[in-house]
Amino acid sequence: MTERQKSWAGLALFWGLLLLLAALRPLAVPDEGRYGEIGRWMLQSGDWIIPRLDGIPFFHKPPLLHWLNASLMAVLGVHAWVARLGPALHAGLMLLVLYLVLRRTPPLPGLSSERLAQRATWVLGSSLAFLIGGQYVNHDMLVACWIGVAIWAFALAFLQSSDRVPDPWLARAGFVACGLGVLSKGLIGVVLPGLVLFLWLFQTRQWHKVLRLPWLSGLALFGLIAVPWFVLAERRAPGLLAYLFGDQQFNRYTATTFNNGRPWWFYLAGLFLLMFPWTFLVLPQVLAWLRRRALPLPAGLGPWVSLAWIWLVAIIGFFSVPHSKLIGYALPVMPPLAFLAALGFEQTLARRSHAGRYFGGLLALALLVACGVEVAAARYTERRGSADVAAALACQMAPSDTVLAAGDFPYDLPFVARLPQAMVVIQDWELQRREAGDNWRRELFEGADFDRQAGQVLQGPDTLVQAAQKPGQWLVAPRGFEVTGFATVFEGRAWVLYRSPSTVAGAGLPSCRR
């Protein structure tokens, strides 16, 4: 088998393992339940403009993930594995682009570019960032992928320029990737590639090439991809742009009132875990830099290493500023970190007598850690989710029955049961508007402000009392929540299913698996 064949086999193997792991656990709550259900509802309702959670507009992020989920479910059915396929496809693209780009870099002494690219893809493909982050249903892998594609495309365009003119087609690919990044998660899809490239062009003194980019065609492609949905959605839901870009992006970046407050070193620890054990291979380069003794590199590889370090430091620095921090925000820096780890192995261990065994041992350890985390995540999710209650509900309720949720919000239940109608959510909503923090209650009542009719599913405690007197009423509530007037039907690990006394079990929904 040639080195190139080994490379392609490795790409297929790691992506296949990712898909296998994606089929082995239930939907995690809240994220996977939330975003899987938004895609399912989009398919069921036929409304591809307004993303909805429990029938209520949900404008925290742009719709690319929801479009992907709805499209894939239309073809492959409504399953947790299908909901994970969109992020998995983007993880595969991230891995593929890393390989294709590094094949075109200058070779190290005694090592072909093919071999370096192969090693970098094995580093990334065996990591937690790829095998776990690449199958998690949220927007993080999508935007990470397109940020990476944009940076690689523009960097290639500049470094492979002729007569100081950047390659126009690679540059246009960069503009397209920025457009898809904006559709994935908003402004960071263009701000972060711009930040990295700005610093890199300044460091490598390539500013004279910027004016020669295909700005007209590039911006036209960017606009055709990124702008139409925002225009259409703002017309349907006035105030969406201010809410999405103001509250959900600018305020989340600058305020200290949102969830997930973490210390400044959070992402340093996150990088260590997401790329364990490969991060150890980057440390010699850091130590050499601190000692002002850079490890030797071929001249042509210098700009690529500079790009990787600027990419890593700039994005981690950007996300370290806000009070709120999430581990998924580190995913955009996984490609340069994998490149630096592969480079570190070649500079420090590759010349030793048992280098192949060292690398194989690290690879086996990384895969073992990823599989262990997958098993632990599945057990943790089973203890917190409502999938067991959803399965019982799907086999007993009639399509016209009403499902009520009280005490908490079962994010994964509508998806697992494939409910044909929105749940009625019971809370003291006037009190919640005054006191709710950054939680699911705020998600729902802020979304309801965009569609008062859809927001009628948000009902007060009196509705629960009335529902107990009617037939066709089902209630789901967390264990420990006090319920009166309803009969217990099924007790799950974290949730309990009840019915009103006059409700008779029906034939079940099409999602029932007896």
Q: What is the DSSP string of 465-477?
A: HHHTTSSSEEEEE
Residues 392-407 have pLDDT tens digits of: 999 999 999 999 999 9
Q: How many CB atoms sit inside 10 A of residue 112's CB?
A: 13
- Residue 165 pLDDT: 85
CA atoms lying within 13 Å on the CB side of residue 224:
9
405: which residues sit within 8 A by CB, 6+ positions away? 413, 423, 424, 425, 426, 475, 476, 477
HEC sequence for 157-187? HHHCCECCECCHHHHHHHHHHHHHHHHHHCC
Q: Dihedrals φ, ψ of 405, to 5°?
A: -125, 130
- Residue 381 pLDDT: 92
Q: What number of helices (H) and strands (E) belong to the chain?
A: 23, 8
* Reported confidence tier of residue 291, pLDDT bands at 50, 70, 90: low
**Strands ordered across the beta sheet of 495-499:** 458-459, 424-426, 402-406, 473-478, 495-499, 487-491
239, containing H or E segment: none
Question: Mean of the per-residue pLDDT values for the chain?
Answer: 92
Cβ-count burial 74-99 (b if 16+ within 10 Å, e if not) = eeeebbbbbbbbbbbbbbbbbbebbb
Is residue 261 predicted with pLDDT exceeding 80?
A: no
Residues 400-453 have pLDDT tens digits of: 999 999 999 999 999 999 999 999 999 999 999 988 888 899 999 999 999 999
* Reported confidence tier of residue 311, pLDDT bands at 50, 70, 90: very high
DSSP for residue 491: E
Q: Dihedrals φ, ψ of 295, to 5°?
A: -70, 145
Is residue 115 predicted with pLDDT exceeding 80?
A: yes
Beta-ladder partners of 426: 406, 459
378: which residues sit within 8 A by CB, 6+ positions away? 24, 25, 26
Cβ-count burial 223-261 (b if 16+ within 10 Å, e if not) = eebbeebbeebeeebeebeebbeeebbeebbeeeeeeee
Residues 69-108 have pLDDT tens digits of: 999 999 999 999 999 999 999 999 999 999 999 999 888 7
Q: Which amino acid is at 401?
A: D
CA 498 to the chain's CA centroid = 34
Average pLDDT over residues 28-44: 96
Comparing 289 with 450, the larger pLDDT belongs to 450
The residue ranges of DSSP E strands in 285-397, in sequence order, are none
CA–CA separation, 128 vs 123, rounded Å? 10
Q: How many CB atoms sit inside 10 A of residue 472's CB?
A: 17
Structure tokens at 129: 């960032």
CA–CA separation, 63 vs 45, rounded Å? 15
Helix orientation angle between 188-204 and 168-185, rounded to the nearest 10 degrees: 140
DSSP for residue 203: H
Assess contact for 486 and 468: CB atoms under 8 A: yes
Tokens 């698996």 belong to 513
The C-alpha torsion from 85 through 90 and 91 to 92, rounded to 10°, is 90
Assess contact for 406 and 498: CB atoms under 8 A: no
Q: What share of the chain has pLDDT > 70, as a percent? A: 96
